[in-house]
A and B are shown apart, each in its own frame.
Chain A
Amino acid sequence: MSRVVFDQVTKHFGDVVAVDGLSLEVHDKEFLVLLGPSGCGKSTALRLVAGLEEPTKGSIIIGDRIVDNVEAKNRDVAMVFQSYALYPHMSVQDNMGFSLRMRHVPRRERHQKVLDAARMLGLHDLLRRRPGELSGGQRQRVALGRAIVRSPSVFLMDEPLSNLDAKLRVQMRRELIKLHRQLETTVIFVTHDQVEAMTMGARIAIIHEGALQQVGDPQEVYQHPANLFVASFIGSPAMNFFHSELRLQDGQLVAHSAGASFPLTEGQARALAALGGEKAIIGVRPEHVLLDWEAEENSEACLDVVVDTVESMGHEQHVTFSAGDTTIVARLDARRRLREGERLRLRIDRAHMHFFDPDTGQRIE
């Protein structure tokens, strides 16, 4: 059993609240990603598990043991640092074997374990080199290897891929997923990169200003973001938001925004009515903004816009439109030729509209 539980964990640094009442359970053998912008407290959360920081309030449980008074070295966790934290004066072999040496593992056994891990990571030809003689990717592997040789019950990874170039990062992402499958160990992986989070995590925990915003699998957080923060943080290009006013028209609830009106489905109307307010924020993902050439004048859920900028991705294009003061980003097929300054009409896919309470930022559903 190597689950990790944050139980109402709060961490203050002076007046700064780094982690604010975090409650979260990481299941046994799960790959959980802590995602959030820099300074959101995700690294602090990880360091609390490692035992490098002590919680101000609350407890951390690893397996079935409350580890609040357990030293870092006795928590049976291994950590991979963003900077790799390799000992520059030691060879790859000594770096990887350091923790075993500190635990007085006999030389022969130590050597065997290092060799096994090195083979797994393709490092066996580099064992005598020093970190300074390795490429960034190789150093990254050594850092992983150093964690693996200990066969800990929990791996903690603090943005381990962020110092790699884009291509290598994609490659290491896959290798880490495979490695996790092979090792069958609990992994807590911290990143600020939502692509990394979406592609790697079995579940993603999104943290903002020290507080947990949402936990769920990648599809769940993408399709049902719990609040405005999650909605805006997950997805690239980011979700479009419109402030809207709700009015009753001919017995139907209609949201007015950016010069357009969006008649709401029954489910949406019921949820919004329950809230009782007259305002809501509508969120629309760029892939749900459609070019509708046939739209009639004043047809519903349509916006008259001007093409602002076109960013071509090759297989698709991200187009920024402006409609009065509102900017709308759409993800469109690359074959549609669009000129900057061109006037056209967009339609919003009503079935995929998200609604948020403008006061609390919470999802309305």
Chain B
Amino acid sequence: MDATDVTANQRLPLIAAAGRLLQRLKGVNRLGFALIFLAPSLLIFGAFVFYPLVKALYLGFYETDPFGNQGDFAGLDQYRTVLSSESFRHSLWVTFLFALYTVPPGILLGLALALLANQKLRGISIFRLMFSSTVATSVAVASLMWLTLLNPSVGLLNYFLVEAGQPRIDWLNDLDWALPAVSATTVWLNLGLAFIVILAGLQTIPEELYESARIDGASNWSLFRHVTLPMLSPTLFFVSVVGTILAFQSFGQIHILTRGGPVDATTVIVYSIWQDAFQRFDYGVASVQAVALFLLVLGLTVVQLRFLERRVFYQ
């Protein structure tokens, strides 16, 4: 037996032991291993989503003194008072109207533009770029732009109204027009996203389906009704869920355009939360509304998943 044999023989049990250790580590620490990989996102989610969520839930149980400090324990009473208040019900109603004014028109417009931009024409990519450009526009820029367009004296909209022989409208200060005006801005702002997603959806539909249907005798409307719409349903479903969530979370454009006015006509829940939290420093009341908004969006998404998804066809 020479020297190398000795070392090899001595090394064998060592290797075996190391292997066993590794095996055991693997078994015990699979979760730990997974956690290491999850840590960065868990950290971010924890700091910015989970902690605020729990904190809001907690704050909702406490009153807030006039100086913004945590006051007495109120338990569910605060939830009951706030959620049954006239102002919360009003902002809930405004939020629903806002979603109604922004989501369906946004999807329809996005679909229409995507259908147009999906044509095979020379220079169509210029239009694709234009239609999707609102994605790269910040809420502030979009709001300022629309502020100009909606301006009662120098705005383009009123210019057309006057040209058409109609009276001017003070869009953002009119009780009836403020919410539609803010909604129009929001539709415009979210249009790029809807357009891009729907166009991408359109482009995944195989060309042969249209060709086959054309030979089978389908008219343009039939092609749309029997090929495009069903094949696009997962995309439209996605856009409607995301659009609804976006609508319920809108803040910037309302803050810049109307500050919730006139007379709370555009005070959606998020804006009401902001007013209670950062104008009145009533964190308790704001937290109750935040929790309510969270549950509302969660509930709506579940309902959408349950009911809309039945009509959705996944390949």
Contacts and interface: CB of A to CB of B under 8 A. Distances in A.
B208 A73 contact: no
Contacts of B209: 85, 87
B142 interface: no
A50 B230 contact: no
Given A87-B227, A88-B315, A81 B214 contact: no
Nearest to A77: B215
A132 interface: yes
A73 B313 contact: no
A203 B230 CA distance: 41
B215 A72 contact: yes
A85 B214 contact: no
Contact of B216 (A73, A88, A89): A73
B175 interface: no
Given A85-B206, A88-B315, A89-B230, A103 B212 contact: no
A51 B215 contact: yes
B123 interface: no
B231 interface: yes
B215 A88 contact: no
Interface residues of B, number: 20
B138 interface: no
Nearest to A156: B215
**Chain A interface size, under 10 / 10 to 19 / 20 to 34 / 35 or more:** 20 to 34
B157 interface: no
B217 interface: yes
A99 interface: yes
Interface string A47-81: 00011100000000000000000001101011101
A151 interface: no
Interface string A151-194: 00000000000000000000000000000000000000000000
Contacts, number: 61
A85 B211 CA distance: 9
B212 A81 contact: yes
A132 B313 CA distance: 11
Given A85-B206, A85-B209, A87-B227, A102 B217 contact: yes
B218 interface: yes
Interface in A79-105: 79, 81, 83, 85, 87-89, 98-99, 102-103
B214 A52 contact: yes
B211 A81 contact: yes
Interface in B223-247: 226-227, 230-231, 233
A182 B269 CA distance: 70
A132 B315 CA distance: 7
Interface string A124-159: 000000001000000000000010001000000000
Contacts of B208: 81, 83, 85
A75 B216 CA distance: 10
A108 to B, nearest CB: 19
B203 interface: no
Contacts of B315: 88, 132
B136 to A, nearest CB: 33
Contacts of A150: 216
A102 B206 contact: no
B206 A99 contact: no
A52 B217 contact: no
A78 B217 CA distance: 10
A52 B215 contact: yes
A50 B215 contact: yes
Contacts of B222: 102
A144 to B, nearest CB: 13
Nearest to A99: B216
Given A102-B218, A102-B222, A79 B212 contact: yes
A50 B206 CA distance: 18
B195 to A, nearest CB: 24
Interface string B181-214: 0000000000000000000000000101101111
A132 B227 CA distance: 16
Contacts of A81: 208, 211-212
A53 to B, nearest CB: 10
B227 A72 contact: no
B226 A78 contact: no
Contacts of B219: 102
Nearest to A52: B211
A87 B218 CA distance: 13
Interface centre among A81, A83, A87 (most CB of B within 10 A): A87
Interface in B105-139: none
Interface in A323-342: none
Residue in A98, A103, A150 whose Cβ sees the most chain B Cβ within 10 Å: A98
Contacts of B218: 73, 98, 102
Contacts of B216: 73, 98-99, 102, 146, 150
Nearest to A150: B216
Contacts of A88: 231, 313, 315
5 contacts: A72-B215, A83-B206, A85-B212, A87-B227, A150-B216
Interface of A: 50-52, 72-73, 75, 77-79, 81, 83, 85, 87-89, 98-99, 102-103, 132, 146, 150
Nearest 10 Cβ contacts at the A-B interface: A99-B216, A85-B208, A102-B217, A85-B212, A89-B313, A73-B217, A89-B230, A72-B215, A81-B208, A72-B214
